[in-house]
Amino acid sequence: MPVRGRSLPFAAPALAAGALASVQSASAAPADAAACPAPAAAIGLSTGWKLQLPTPNSSGSPQEMKQPALPTYNKAPWFTTTSGCDAILIRAAVNGATTSNTGYRRSELREMTADGSATTSWSSTKGTRTMVVDEAITHLPADKPPVMAGQIHDGTSDATSFRLEGTSLYVTSYNTAHYTLVTSGYKLGDRFEGKFVAHDGKVDVYYNGTLQATVTAKFGSGYFKAGDYTQANCNNSKPCDTSAYGEVVLYGVTVKHS
């Protein structure tokens, strides 16, 4: 049972009580590169991931960072260490390059095989697939605010995710953006644990240890993503530059297949 990432750092009693640890703006600020470890090292991120960024490569496509370069990669402000040296600051502006089949920008970690050499493709009807993310959403675009933070992708679209609109945090189900309201009182910087458990053709989604939604999702080519998928672009959010962006702080991510 391969495990990627590290265990979450906060205590189980706080999760059971549904407590939210607020992230101070100072700790979410970019770190002095010389003072902190590289982003992946800051959270003990292992080799089972690659990074997708909205910054274009030479062909205009989104830049990707794979193994073995990812553990030492740092590209502020899109993927850098927080000033507290214990988390990754991930940002996606409304402009830039996009991946195929989407008009929105993402700065996300994409699940790979354990050695980082190939993409993963697993079935939601066989075995149990689990991702736990320890994170906080820290900034939303002003004009079109939704940001997705953590998701299961089924090969053609996102099957389910956490989605923040203003102060309302939702669990999505494919094209149903408001499938389940988790809380209407989310404050930017509130740190939470999200967990996705795919099994028997469905996905159970937990927030701070409490089951929030069960999404019917039968597919044969899934994978996990963690980071910032900003639901805005130059057509629906102004100004169309880096002053409009989404941002997520990632404290830890763990994947397990059984």
Show the domain range for 139: 3-257
Which CATH number is 203's domain given? Answer: 2.60.120.200
Instruction: Enumerate residues 6+ apart whose C-beta is below 8 A from 249.
Output: 23, 28, 82, 87, 88, 89, 90, 135, 136, 137, 138, 189, 191
pLDDT tops 90 at residue 59: no
Q: How far apart are the first and last CA of the chain?
A: 6
Percent of the chain topping pLDDT 90:
62
pLDDT tops 60 at residue 22: no
If pLDDT is split at 50, 70 and 90, which confidence band does 35 have?
confident
Q: Are β-strands 21-22 and 190-199 bridged in parallel, bridged antiparallel, or unpaired?
A: antiparallel
| pLDDT attached to residue 46 | 75
Q: Sheet containing 147-153: which strands, arranged edge to edge?
A: 62-65, 49-56, 105-111, 223-230, 147-153, 158-165, 168-173, 176-183
Check residues 78 and 11 and name the one with the higher pLDDT: 78
> What global pTM score does this model have?
0.86
* pLDDT tens column, 37-49: 999 999 998 789 9
pLDDT tops 80 at residue 126: yes
Q: Is residue 181 within 8 Å of residue 168, measured between CB atoms?
A: yes
In whole angstroms, give the CA distance from residue 166 to residue 184: 9
Mean pLDDT, the chain, rounded, equals: 84
pLDDT tops 70 at residue 185: yes
| pLDDT attached to residue 19 | 32
| pLDDT attached to residue 98 | 65
Q: How many domains does the chain have?
A: 1
* pLDDT tens column, 105-119: 789 999 999 888 889
